[in-house]
Structure 1
Amino acid sequence: MNERRAEAAPAAPSLPKRRALVISTTAIGTALLLVMVWLLLVPMPERLDTERAFRAARDCAPGTTATDCLHSVPAVIERTREKGGKTPSHWMYVKTAEGDRPALYFKGDQRSTFEGLAGKRIHVTYWEGSVRYIDWADARWYTAADPRGAYRPFLAWGLALGSAGLGLILIGLWWARGYATTRLRYPWQQGIAVVGTGILGLAGGLLPWLVHGWRAALLAYGVAGAVVAAGCAFAAAVLHRVNARKTTDTVDIEPVIPADETILAGIVRGDVPYGGVLGGGYLMADAEGLSIIPDPNYRNHPKLIPATLEPLRVRPPYRTDPEGLDLGDVCLVLECRDGDTPVYVAATRESMPLVLGALTAARQLAQK
């Protein structure tokens, strides 16, 4: 038994370098960083310049027709229109004293304030050829053409995409330099990079909407980046120390013989008759053994896994596992032997006790 265990877990496996993964993650990450730079240096400054010009604008002198000043005109609301959905749209159709009939669109939920407005007299204010706001009943409503804060979408998308690009580059660099340090398919180093840059990207996407001003948003993003970096460094140190103490990556799981017939998500791979095309998808575990079925609703003629299959150990997924042996990062792999042939069974951590129990039950029945 000990010899077979040693054969099932070679000390120095041949690890694929995943050059395609390194190239693709680095290239996509670099592209995302370039998009961030473009968003923050091209369209965002243009919106900031427009906002500064709008805030500095003054009322037009009587009789002037300039567009860079605030031109207020009396108007009458002819009708309003509202369209529901995830992002409700609210339209106001007015007729100005100058004979224009602009259609004004308002962002946000204006449903209550739009009721019964037809026929009301208001003032509309133009700037640079567009109505920027209206005044009525001592209240000011800004239209969707309001240039204030128009930089926020570009800053939010830039910071979010830049964070994602940084995460991809870090993953690519780790695979280029650290792939030989572990044979795990889902190494913790990669997980830290994904979680850390994911949190940073979420902060970058939200902060421009939560703080006032782009400088404050960038400052808050920098603080968030420092906190995330410190948290990732601490998590990396703890995980490195924990893993350095481990002498094996074997996961101890007690077999549980199924009391009833249970359908589990599972994959079987190996150079055996039951490890081929149908060796993936779903497993059926019961007190008589483990079977392979192609569909959870189709249980006729299950392919029974023979009692000659001997479980050896449970471990995390490896990059050296057979192709197709993957249920995601939540699965475990059961190394087995059928004679001298290695066989691998992938199942979720919650299902693995039943898989072991069903195989144990089958071997016990065969020995009677």
Structure 2
Amino acid sequence: MSYDPRQRELGVFLRAHREQIKPEEVGLPTSPRRRTPGLRREEVATLAGLGLAWYTWLEQGKVTASRQVLEAIARALRLDDDARRHALTLSGLYTSPDGDRHEQAVAHLRPVLERWTTSPALLLDRHFDVTAWNEAYAALWGDPGRLPDSRRNLLWLMAADPRVRAVLQEWESLARDVFAQFRAQAGLHPEDPRARAVLAALEQDVPHLRHWWRCQTVREFPSRTVTFDSTAGQITLVVSPLRPADDPEALILLQTPATETDHARLAVLVSRGPGERREPLDAPAGQHEPRLRPGQVPVADQPVVLAEPDEDGTQHPRDRGLRDPLVQPG
């Protein structure tokens, strides 16, 4: 029998909902002698087609349930969508919202993003595909709408877009955090075809960085400060990840100017529109080189060393200038 704390929490959750339902709401007779608030355990078990002993163990947190069983209990207890999702989450059975739900989130959140007139913001789905952005984001980073759908993804932008490397001082550490967050989410859906397609695009466009997505480090994306080199001067931004309730696996990345000076410089860029980018955003990988800061070595000229071999003995190139203690095999 299982004594997982989440299973105990599930039992408490089911009992609370059981006690809130009146017998007549589910077609059961009432009696003045009834002393149990709501439904009895045996009544829920009968409505869900389960044995009394097994359902009792479930409320006590001693057993785990299949998705089919939890769905039957959710119907018996008349759980709404939020309560049903919570029960499945506690059991580790919750699956991500479908595409329709994310499309609804995009429709609801796009006006919110546009209200942040001097704070770049973008909305990501669970694959880190960019599904909405505001004018401030386009002014600072370039318009994602100019990218083909297959490359309109934050992982691709962080790893393969030369402008990001050229203007973001914390490019590598921020990119590593993005990949670690993606890996934490993608690991829940190992057979997802879109996640595989994103990694295939990276393998094609920036194969020298493959150790980034082969690394098994996972991490929730933290709030952090980054510095952007723009034609209006350096701009410091506070990057904050926000989870929309409309789609819990989606992510809003809000980039707030850190000071009044940063706000003023970003306002200048926004007034110019998305023309800040000098080279086309959708140029094929390797067709143009990023603008380099003083002392920065072009990626193509960086020495290459071999990373630790995989379990099958295969070794992969690693840029000497991109070494990081977090990159470990396995």
Instruction: Confirm or deny a common fold (TM above 0.5).
Output: no
Which of the two has greater helix per residue?
2
Q: Place the TM-score, normalised by the shorter chain, in its bin.
A: under 0.3
The structure number with the bigger radius of gyration is 1
Give the TM-score of the pair, scaled to structure 2. 0.22
Give the TM-score of the pair, scaled to structure 1. 0.20
